[in-house]
Amino acid sequence: MRMMRLRRTQTWLAAIVAFGMLPWLVQRTVNAARPPSINADQPLWLVRDGQARCTIVAGKDDDFAGDRLRRWMADHSGVQVNVLQADSGPLPKKGCVVLVGSVVSNSWIRKLSDTLGLQASPQALTSQGYIAKRIHHDRRDWLLLAGGGRDGAIHAVADMINWHLTPANKGVSIGSCDTRQIPRMKYRWFWTWDHRMDWGGSGKVGKVMGGGGTYSKSPEAFLIDYKHCVDYMADHKFNGLIIWGFLRDTHGGVEASRELCRYASRRGIRILPGVGTSGYAGYYFEGDHRFNAGTWLAKHPELRSIARDGKPTDSPCPSNKANQDWLDDGAKWLFDNFEIGGVNLEMGDFLVCHCDVCKKARAAIQSKEPDYYKDMAISHMVTLKTMRKLAPEAWLSYATYTGYDAEMMRSPPKFISMIPKDAICQWTLTHMASRWPADVRPMTKHNVGYLHWCNSSTHTQDDFYLQSVLDICRNAAGAGFEGLDTYGELAPDRANVEIFYLAWEAFLWNPKMTVEQFVDQRLGRLYGGSEPALALLKVLPLVRTRKLREDPRNCLQACKLAEVALKEATPNGHPRWKRLIANLRSYADAATEQLEKQRRRAALARTGKRIDVASVKASDEESRGWNAAKAVDGNVKEPEGYWLTRKNNPKQAWLELTFAQPEKINRAVLFHQLNPGHYRSLDYSISVHLDGQWKQVVAIKDNQQAGWVAHAFPSVVTDKVRLDITRSAYGNRMGVGEFELRLVPGTRSDQLP
């Protein structure tokens, strides 16, 4: 009997081989061990013709992710899809199952992952990574949105609604989907001041650069602004929100901030309050509160830090044990009362205390690093240790206010060994971005970088960032950074701001993505197709910076390119192209008006006969091209046409012009920098040389005028004129674009004696 069975099997196998059926048999066997494939070109409908065709099954900790997906489908189809909690009962017998969660929170994800070998564990994906995959298994369709943890599930849903799901005709569908995503940068943060937030809350928005500022918006605007911001962050995979001015009486104090923290935590966003350990008012930025530095020092004036001139300041001394204990008590209060995810510590911009205790403490630190670094370490090393005990998983960051360089790598500052190694060092990369030190890496163990980009306080609110975001993300990743943070104070209702945020989202997650891929995969979906979106790569470079937008020709050329792209775009892209075109036209109109205004001002200011200068000298000059002669060469282009001192924080600077012979003058004409804040002279005077002495004829304080400015004075005959600058908008250097002396005829004082 066995022999007969063997002969039959041999005969059957011979037939298989003879007729070429062996590959079919092998493939049939493989297919039996894995789920049948689906047609990647055929859409999977989750909602169709106003009817739900799916059920969302969310893990026990994934209520926000499941509900976010439900709300999005309802908003775009008008249909409410059911959301079930995993393990709450059997699955529906019909329809696609959308699994949201992780192998820990959702048993169905765990079973499917084990069956199909998907490697969806937290160890494989990290807490922030995810798998998104269409599967046909057990005779039904599944859409798997599996995160390594709760945050990963939120990110999976965010990417679904932004880049994969397609709404159409009371329906929602998805095409092919099989992706595994793990972020390169762990920390993807927004940095904000409360009074500058512009996300829809009513009231006057602040624009001041630097610490503080008055909160002039309505009290309820605080929660409106920040909740809108948090919603956007959750939908675009950002995960940390630094808030300076976190606690103020003027926007609700403790209760408002508690509500915001709860709101953000549910959405996977960590609130990171800004805490000033010396400057910036401690834990409670504004109000009569025991953890407000002003309130504390009013009761203990002896604990104030001392300025260089020996006078007490409004900041606590960093070395004083009583102040350190106060900060420890405040840390306990903060972590006990608010559902925060960490902090962002600052000393107060480059603050140094000159009391005897601090001098002695700094002297004990044997290094040549700046005194500010030493005071920072003395203060932060105590507070950060306390915070770590209180919150083992918190993201504890501190700001250096500086970048780093090769010399620091050769001889690391002592603060690095004094501050706990598990703290996150925030380096300022703004000035490093354009000249990145390729072979230099940060010396601290955990690092994030901070950029002053796309913000009203730095006058970059209209700038376009794309290639620069990619470059800094790649450079930072190459240097071992774990994250980056930049301003998040502007709502993405302007083209440049939206592109800015979308670029951060994409390149922080994957710095290897190219600009072309970003345009194709992201902007193409928003701007009516990949081909029309590619026009942005020609449009944006024309208007990228304020200086480029000052030429109306650039704006008009960009506008023409955008109008062509609008015609080629599908209807869903029209709103964004029209918005961009409106922005470009406004830039062109503003540039044209400004040029005309400058021409009129120049003609008016430069009236009369210009007096030739025989020689010019200055108290100091930048040898790299901004020498004293630039102030009299007639060129006012920024910055190449300027005289500037070296970047050495001068207290004053002077420029002296000498004529070939005594000349009669009655007008001094200056050209101040147009770019706000760039070394514009605020306080200055002009003097003429008479009888061997200098006589002041012009004195200006708090100058706010850019461009050409004329100062008239009674006619005088002199051979030398001097400009003295005592205060500049940026204190690290001084200078002026042009300095002319003129004689305006037609006044009685023009008559020679």
Token duo for residue 170: 């009371």
**Average pLDDT rounded to a whole number, residues 203-227:** 89
Q: How many residues does the chain have?
A: 753
**Average pLDDT rounded to a whole number, residues 27-41:** 42
Q: Is the dihedral of CA 93, 97, 103, 106 positive or negative?
A: negative
pLDDT at residue 587, rounded to an integer: 96
pLDDT(15) > 80: no
Q: Residue written as tokens 């298989």?
A: 16
pLDDT(30) > 80: no
Sheet holding 165-167, edge to edge: 51-52, 44-48, 172-174, 165-167
pLDDT(638) > 90: no
Task: Please say whether the beta carbons of 507 and 518 come within 8 A.
Answer: yes
Instruction: Return all residues near 547 (Cβ < 8 A) that are at least 6 apart.
Output: 638, 675
The amino acid sitting at 508 is L
pLDDT over 90 percentage in the chain: 85
Instruction: Say how far apart CA 289 and CA 413 lie, in whole Å.
Output: 36
- 274 forms beta bridges with 344
pLDDT at residue 173, rounded to an integer: 97
pLDDT over 70 percentage in the chain: 93
> Exposure of 535 by Cβ count < 10 A (0-12 exposed, 13-18 middle, 19+ buried)?
buried
pLDDT in tens, 218-262: 999 999 999 999 999 999 999 999 999 999 999 999 999 999 999
Task: Please say whether the beta carbons of 357 and 320 come within 8 A.
Answer: yes
With CA atoms as reference, report the closest residue to 406 among 435, 367, 448, 371: 435
Q: Residue written as tokens 């009685």?
A: 748
What one-character DSSP code corresponds to residue 184? S
pLDDT at residue 8, rounded to an integer: 45
Cis peptide before 639 (omega within 30 of 0): yes
Sort strands 96-101 and 54-58 into parallel, antiparallel or unpaired. Answer: parallel
Count how many Cα atoms sit within 13 Å of the Cα of residue 221 in the half-sphere of its side chain. Answer: 19
Sort strands 130-137 and 178-181 into parallel, antiparallel or unpaired. Answer: antiparallel
Angle in degrees, CA 125, 126, 129, rounded to 5: 60
pLDDT in tens, 95-147: 999 999 999 999 999 999 999 999 999 999 999 999 999 999 999 999 999 99
Q: What is the DSSP string of 433-461?
A: GGG--TT---SSSEEEEEE--S-GGGT-T
Phi, psi (deg, nearest 5) at residue 47: -140, 135
pLDDT(436) > 60: yes
Enclosing H/E stretch for 44? strand 44-48
The amino acid sitting at 522 is R
pLDDT at residue 107, rounded to an integer: 96
Alpha helices (H) in 20-149, listed in sequence order? 22-32, 63-77, 107-116, 122-125
pTM: 0.86
Token duo for residue 491: 């709502």
pLDDT in tens, 560-600: 999 999 999 999 999 999 999 999 999 999 999 999 998 99
Task: Please say whether the beta carbons of 675 and 548 come within 8 A.
Answer: no
**Average pLDDT rounded to a whole number, residues 206-216:** 80
- Top CATH class of 44-181 equals alpha beta
Instruction: Say how far apart CA 256 and CA 220 lie, in whole Å.
Output: 9
pLDDT(33) > 70: no
Instruction: Say how far apart CA 179 and CA 132 lie, in whole Å.
Output: 5
Token duo for residue 561: 């390119």
pLDDT at residue 525, rounded to an integer: 96
pLDDT in tens, 594-623: 999 989 999 999 999 999 999 999 999 998
**Weakest-pLDDT range from 32-36, 206-210, 316-320:** 32-36
Instruction: Say how far apart CA 575 and CA 583 lie, in whole Å.
Output: 12
Task: Please say whether the beta carbons of 491 and 452 come within 8 A.
Answer: no
Residue with the larger pLDDT of the pair 752 and 377:
377
Neighbours of 10 (CB within 10 A): 10
pLDDT in tens, 178-192: 999 999 999 999 999
Does domain 606-750 fall under CATH 1.10.287.110? My reply is no
Q: Where in the chain is the domain with CATH 3.30.379.10?
A: 44-181
Sort strands 44-48 and 54-58 into parallel, antiparallel or unpaired. Answer: unpaired
Enclosing H/E stretch for 253? helix 253-266
Q: How far is CA 507 from CA 522, 543, 656, in A?
A: 12, 22, 50
With CA atoms as reference, report the closest residue to 215 among 228, 224, 203, 229: 203
Q: Is the dihedral of CA 653, 658, 664, 669 positive or negative?
A: negative
With CA atoms as reference, report the closest residue to 644 among 673, 667, 687, 615: 673
pLDDT at residue 41, rounded to an integer: 65
Enclosing H/E stretch for 690? strand 681-690
- 147 forms beta bridges with 130
Sheet holding 54-58, edge to edge: 83-85, 54-58, 96-101, 140-147, 130-137, 178-181
Q: Where in the chain is the domain with CATH 2.60.120.260?
A: 606-750
Beta strand segments in 371-453, E: 395-399, 424-428, 446-451
Enclosing H/E stretch for 227? helix 221-235
The per-residue pLDDT of the chain, averaged, comes to: 92
**Reported confidence tier of residue 13, pLDDT bands at 50, 70, 90:** very low
Residue with the larger pLDDT of the pair 370 and 3:
370
Token duo for residue 76: 């775009």
Q: How far is CA 234 from CA 154, 188, 390, 434, 518, in A?
A: 7, 11, 26, 30, 20
Q: What is the DSSP string of 590-654?
A: HHHHHHHHHHHHHHHHT-SEEPP-SEEEES--BTTTB-GGGGGSS---TTTT-EE--SS--S-EE
Enclosing H/E stretch for 174? strand 172-174
Task: Please say whether the beta carbons of 346 and 277 come within 8 A.
Answer: yes
With CA atoms as reference, report the closest residue to 387 among 318, 320, 333, 450: 333
pLDDT at residue 40, rounded to an integer: 53
> Buried b / exposed e across 300-329, counting CB within 10 Å, b at 16+?
eeebbbbeeeeeebebbbbbbeebbebbbe
Instruction: Say how far apart CA 190 and CA 484 lie, in whole Å.
Output: 9
Token duo for residue 286: 């504004």
The amino acid sitting at 612 is D
**Weakest-pLDDT range from 134-138, 375-379, 675-679:** 675-679
Token duo for residue 243: 């808030």
**Average pLDDT rounded to a whole number, residues 434-463:** 94
- 99 forms beta bridges with 57, 144
Token duo for residue 124: 């494989």
pLDDT in tens, 266-323: 999 999 999 999 989 999 999 999 999 999 999 999 999 999 999 999 999 999 999 9
